[in-house]
Structure 1
Amino acid sequence: MVQFSEETKERVSKVIDISRVAIHYGYLPLIVYLGYSYSEPKPSLFKYGNLSTRGPRLSPSFGY
């Protein structure tokens, strides 16, 4: 078995930590990007970008 120095162990640990964070926060945006780029017909980001301003406003009903 290969013996690593403490500096090498620290570097490997740092790379693993950074990779874990990058995968954690980058996986879902990557899947969404791939879905947008490989779908037919290509969806428009502006068309679906702000759905909260479309349609009727429904006021909450409290049963009065």
Structure 2
Amino acid sequence: MRKTDKIIISALALICINLSLLFYQNWVVNSKFDVVFYSINDLEHKIEKAETSTKKLKREFRKY
């Protein structure tokens, strides 16, 4: 192997490593956003449940 061949192969290896790290970083960020959106949706659902339960309680107290 010539010296230029070794340089080209090492440059290609570094490019492949950088691309794989970039895709991994993108996957981690996307998965964290999925967790955040899931927790936001869960909170919205809990707020809706609380609102309906307060409406039910208000109806019950009106009877008395």
- How would you bin the TM-score normalised by the shorter chain? 0.3 to 0.5
Structure-1-length-normalised TM-score: 0.38
Q: Return the structure number with greater helix share.
A: 2
Structure-2-length-normalised TM-score: 0.38
Higher relative contact order by CA 8 Å / sep ≥ 6: 1 or 2? Answer: 1
- Larger Rg: 1 or 2? 2
